[in-house]
Structure 1
Amino acid sequence: MRLKFYCQNRIGILRDIVAQFADYRINVARGEVGGDQGNTIYLHVPKLLNAQLSTLKPVLESIPGVFGVKRASLMPSERRHLELDALLSSLSDPVMSIDMQGRIVAANRIAVQVLGVRVQEVPDLSLDRYLDEVDLPDLIRRNNSRINGLRIKLKGDTYLADIAPLHTEDTTVDSLAGAVVTLHRADRIGARIYQVQRQELRGFEAIFQSSSRLEAVINEARRMAPLDAPLLIVGETGTGKELVARACHLASPRGQAPFVVLNCAGLPESMAETELFGYAPGAFEGARPEGKLGLLELNEGGTVFLDEVGEMSPRLQTKLLRFLQDGGFRRVGSDEETFLDVRVICATQQNLPQLCSEGLFRLDLYHRLNVLLLQVPPLRECLDGIEALAAYVLDRAARQIGCHLPALSPAALEKITRYDWPGNVRQLENVLFQAVSLCEEKVIQPVHLRLPHSEVSPELAGIPLEGSLNDMLGEVERNILTTLYQQYPSSRQLGKRLGVSHTTIANKLKRYGIGAQDGP
């Protein structure tokens, strides 16, 4: 058990506190002093029982200068360790801290994999045994400053190393304590430069707004971004919901604070709960003895983006609702309340009101999330800007691949304009990147656009099978809309019957010349 004492900073107060445990023959394993003025004492008492604490608490609070005693989930050093571990684990490059003898003090998981050792073997492992051409401690002493882009060979692979020296006091050579070494694979530097260039445009400037429909949504998002309230972003897969969420974060007063993402559909319920809320020491078998901080605590003052919130389990929905109501929650296995200041942005491609009516999503949580609402349109509803968007994607693809910029032939443009793009902008990017890599000429033709095709089946009898898949699907779609329009003679009625927006139906009716195109 860990205890937190709010107390006066006076000589002998720690001795007076520990003496009470000694009288009960209870061992204090570790102690730390915290607070801005040393006015908080933390004690780790592993074998202290709840019943013993109930007896001891009045005695401890009667000590002169002790104002209060409560249970703590973590010691300050444990919290710093967890935060550092979470930071290192989030990095995609190998990172190691070494001392001035070249021994590894700490390393992230990627670095452990590169070295080919077990995690427990890392501390005190000599990095020199893996480096043939450079003496890092000597290099650090001679330079005594940051080194960027040092080419080294490690286990047969070439890396560019960034080396940041660590000093104990001043910046003299005598105060050198070691260095932090970050490795970048030399053969991936081109892709890294591309990613850096791509990230130079931040926020809403990174969203290409060629469509008038999308431009209107982004203008709406700009107005919502500074508001410190939950935001719900609705849209199909591949429409760029996370990009919009990140832009809203960067344009808000929290823009300099962290922005973290949790995909609620990609994790089991128990793992999603511990990732978001963390867990207390010894919360379950296999848990870290010091516990774990959740994304909410690691992101204090920032924004948490919950993708696919419609996939969230009922238990997690209840905890999220409680947090949105008063900012408080409990870690898994803990009875201590934690209160935080974090903005929550959620996204989903599902129909949350329908899930609520089916009892699969809490109605009260939906109303809490739906304070601000953005609906990101699918690509098929933004066809007025697809030519400019395609040109933008082709330019990016050519720069990344390092080839000439190909043009889009009229036939290829017609093909992408007539396609429905179920994967939206993400699918368009993938198709055009592949087309650039396949095209050996200066013009992209329809043959370079690899769109999904379907197999012939008996049910297609009577449908012309010449042309592209899009042509054939268009014929099927036209027949369906022509038939159903007689029973549902408006875009709103027909959209409700088919489970899509009335705007989509109106556009399709207009495309196929069905009915009077009466709008909604």
Structure 2
Amino acid sequence: MRLRFHCQNRVGILRDIVAHFADYGLNVARGEVGGEQGNAIYLHVPHLLNAQLVTLKPELEAVPGVFAVRRVGLMPSERRHLELDALLSSLTDPVMSIDMEGQVVAANRAAGQLLGVRIDEVPGLSLDRYLPDLDLPELVRRNNARVNGLRVTLRDTTFLADIAPLHREHLDDVASLAGAVVTLHRAERIGERIYQVQRQELRGFEAIFQASPRLEALTREARRMAPLDAPLLIQGETGTGKELLARACHLASPRGQAPFMALNCAGLPESMAETELFGYAPGAFEGARPEGKLGLLELTAGGTIFLDEVGEMSPRLQAKLLRFLQDGGFRRVGSDEETWLDVRVICATQQDLPRLCAEGRFRHDLFHRLNVLSLVVPPLRDCRDGIPALAEHFIDRAARQIGCPLPALSAAALARLEAYPWPGNVRQLENVLFQAVSLCDGARIEPLHLRLPEVGEGPLLAGLELSGSLAEIMGAVEQRVLAALYPRFPSSRQLARRLGVSHTTIANKLRRHGIGGEEGDA
């Protein structure tokens, strides 16, 4: 029988309570002190009968400082043990507690299955049998701190081990080390977990605006190519959304539930790009982590790797990537061990790869391997008919993020957006409109809120629709010219002087094209 004594925390109270059980010839097998302020005592008296408790209870409650006595189902340590067992059993990763001799003190069911023994046979096992090349107690003493991602091989399976030291007292005292808790994560599942964290950021084809016929055609092509398990090359200028398109293709493929990892090859030193992509072996170079490092390819096992700016790859990396595309194999930096993986490769570039091949800066064979399937993302200046819908979407999103009322886009501001050549494409449009919403303190976004850097007058007419009459074409040109100049000359008189025409003529034209509102007459 287990009893809980709600009592005063005073010297000698436990002795006074236990004395009554001794008088009745009852052995107290175990005792624990608990409660928030040590105001509870738990006793396990195995042979205490109900009839005896009825007789004893008044005597026990008469002990000075004892307020109440009642039966309980479990001692606090027993409850914690059961809760811990339930928690550990629910974990799919093997978890073990070891002492400073390297012997297993406790483990969960997954660890028992990994070691090939029943759960009750785990305590007392020496990990030396399973990890002969790793002295875990020495590693714990040497580091005296948590170790994450230690690469170990146990029963022919590769794991990343997290090792948390256990101290009896002072956390920084090696002498107080009592052991460690070891959690083993299967290496191939690490990328899966990272991906699940990132997955909420991933968006499919529904996130790609298709207001322009060219974007609609691109999306139709991408939907057809997405399920095909072959390399995909996406070409387009900076800011056109190549990575967004790659993510959409991944999500629409049979690999959509597996990891998607991205690496931008531009600006990375060759050694860093190689270790990021392929990983490295333990002790591969000075300063390397002793347990080595998994590369993005291994973290992406079964999924899709996205290599942005692939044209910036060094010749050495091009050769390693070509070999991986040919047979799925590679070697980590500093390792002679071959690793084979099933990963789909999607690459993107804003460079002219055939020209780079002709100049000897990109391998012909790698280009042909990558160019099995290809998509070309058009620049924003070639999709001007989609700018109104894009602008509306970005303004709405910016207003939500900033937490301000949704402003309207004036006709003059829209004309300015449609006239601009957009060297930064959709990304630049989004940034410009976010800034415009933050600058706008009224109900409408006007041209003066659009901070557009000068890029020259030449591209101003790029993408101009030429299907109408000459008068309609000239009217469109006139509208773009006025919309482009009005922010710098924000009145009809200033603009008239700039263009060398009468104030009345400019005022009429501004009204006709809806530029500047009533201020156009000033």
Q: Which TM-score tier does this pair reach, normalised by the shorter chain?
A: 0.5 to 0.7
Structure 1 CA distance for aligned equivalents of residues 465 and 319 of structure 2: 40
CA distance in 2, matches of 1:229, 1:102: 57
- State the alpha-carbon separation in 1 of the partners of residues 440 and 426 from structure 2: 21
| Partner SS for 1:44 | coil
What is the correspondence of 1:421-432 to structure 2 with a 5 Å cutoff? 421-432=422-433
1:325 matched to 2:403? The reply is no
Q: Structure 2 vs 1, CA of residues 434 and 505 (structure 1 numbering), >3 Å: closer, same or farther? A: closer
Are residues 1:75 and 2:145 paired? no
Q: Report SS of the residue matched to 2:289.
A: coil
Q: 1:432 to 1:41 in 2, by over 3 A?
A: same
C-alpha distance in 1, partners of 2:345/2:465?
34
> Could you tell me whether the CA contact under 8 Å between 1:229 and 1:372 is conserved in 2?
yes
Deviation at 1:287, TM superposition (A): 1.1
Could you tell me how far apart the structure 2 residues matched to 1:385 and 1:227 are? 29
The question of 1:246 aligning with 2:247 is answered: yes
What is residue 440 of structure 1 aligned with on the other side? 441
Structure 2 counterparts to residues 119-130 of structure 1, below 5 A: none
Give 1:349 deviation, angstroms.
0.4
1:263 matched to 2:264: yes
Measured against aligned partners, the alpha-carbon deviations of 1:337-375 in whole angstroms (never above 9, x if no partner) come to 110011111000000000000000000000000011011
User: How many residue pairs are counted as aligned between the two chains?
Assistant: 319
Using the alignment, how far apart are the partners of 1:262 and 1:201 within structure 2? 16
2:303 matched to which residue of 1? 302
User: Is 1:384 the equivalent of 2:462?
Assistant: no
Structure 1 residue 206 displacement after superposition: 1.5
Q: Which residue of 1 aligns with 2:335?
A: 334
Q: How does 1:38-57 map to 2 (within 5 A)?
A: 43-44=132-133
Q: Secondary structure at the match of 1:329?
A: strand
* SS of residue in 1 equivalent to 2:320: helix
Q: 1:256 to 1:201 in 2, by over 3 A?
A: closer
Please tell me whether residue 292 in structure 1 is matched to residue 293 in structure 2.
yes
Contact 1:30 1:44 in 2 (8 A): no
Going from structure 1 to structure 2, the CA distance change for 1:388 and 1:511 (only over 3 Å counts) comes to farther
State the Cα distance separating 1:432 from its structure 2 match: 0.3
What are the Cα deviations for residues 243-301 of structure 1, in whole angstroms up to 9, with x where unaligned? 00011111111111111110101311000001110111111111112211111111111
Work out the CA distance in 2 between the residues paired with 1:102 and 1:389.
Answer: 61
SS state of the match for residue 232, structure 1?
Answer: strand
Report the Cα offset of residue 199 of structure 1: 5.1
- SS state of the match for residue 160, structure 2? helix
The answer to whether the 8 A contact 2:394-2:433 is kept is: yes
Deviations 1:426-462 (A, max 9, x none): 00000000000101110111000000036xxxxxxxx
How far 1:100 sits from its partner (Å)? Answer: 12
8 Å contact kept, 2:234–2:374: yes
Shift of 1:200: 7.9
Write the mapping of 1:203-282 to structure 2, written as runs, cut at 5 A: 203-282=204-283
Deviations 1:392-449 (A, max 9, x none): 1111111111111111111111100010000000000000000001011101110000
1:74–1:291 Cα contact (<8 Å) kept: no
Give matches, 1:365-376, under 5 Å.
Answer: 365-376=366-377
2: CA distance, partners of 1:402 / 1:102:
50
Q: Which residue of 2 aligns with 1:413?
A: 414
- Structure 2 unmatched ranges of 5 or more: 1-101, 105-110, 118-128, 136-150, 184-196, 475-522
> Which residue is equivalent to 2:313?
312
Instruction: Give the C-alpha shift of residue 473 in structure 1.
Output: 3.9
* Separation (CA, whole Å) in 2 of partners of 1:394 and 1:376: 23
Look up the equivalent residue of 2:321 and give its one-letter code: L
Task: Using structure 1 for the length normalisation, give the TM-score.
Answer: 0.54
Q: Partners in 2 of 1:410 and 1:102 — Cα distance?
A: 72
Contact 2:203–2:244, Cα closer than 8 Å, also in 1: no
Letter of the aligned partner of 2:439 in structure 1? L
8 Å contact 1:230–1:370 — kept in the other structure?
A: yes
Q: Does the Cα contact within 8 Å between 1:241 and 1:347 map onto a contact in 2?
A: yes
User: What CA distance in whole angstroms lies between the structure 2 residues aligned with 1:433 and 1:333?
Assistant: 46
What corresponds to 1:140 in structure 2? none
**How many angstroms apart in 2 are the aligned matches of 1:103 and 1:210?**
64
Q: Name the amino acid aligned to 1:380.
A: R
> 1:262 is matched by which residue type in structure 2?
L
Q: For residue 183 of structure 1, what is the aligned residue in structure 2?
A: none
Q: Indicate if the aligned counterparts of 1:30 and 1:43 stay in contact, CA closer than 8 A.
A: no
In structure 1, distance between residues paired with 2:169 and 2:408: 53
Specify the SS of the correspondent of 2:159: helix
Alpha-carbon distance change, 399 to 102 in structure 1, aligned in 2, over 3 angstroms: farther
Distance 1:103 1:414, change over 3 A: farther
SS of the aligned residue for 2:233 comes to strand
Relative to structure 1, the CA distance from residue 265 to residue 79 in structure 2 (aligned partners, 3 Å threshold; closer, same or farther) is farther
Identity %: 68
Change in 2 beyond 3 A, CA 1:511/1:220: farther
Summarize the Cα distance change of 1:199–1:392 in structure 2 as closer, same or farther, 3 Å threshold: farther
Separation (CA, whole Å) in 2 of partners of 1:314 and 1:304:
19
Matches within 5 A, 1:14-163: 43-44=132-133, 74-76=152-154, 80-81=159-160
Contact 1:34 / 1:41 at 8 angstroms: preserved in 2? no
Q: Offset at 1:36?
A: 6.9
Name the amino acid aligned to 1:403: C
Q: Following the alignment from structure 1 to structure 2, what is the Cα–Cα distance between the partners of residues 245 and 102?
A: 52
Q: Give the counterpart letter for 1:284 in structure 2.
A: F
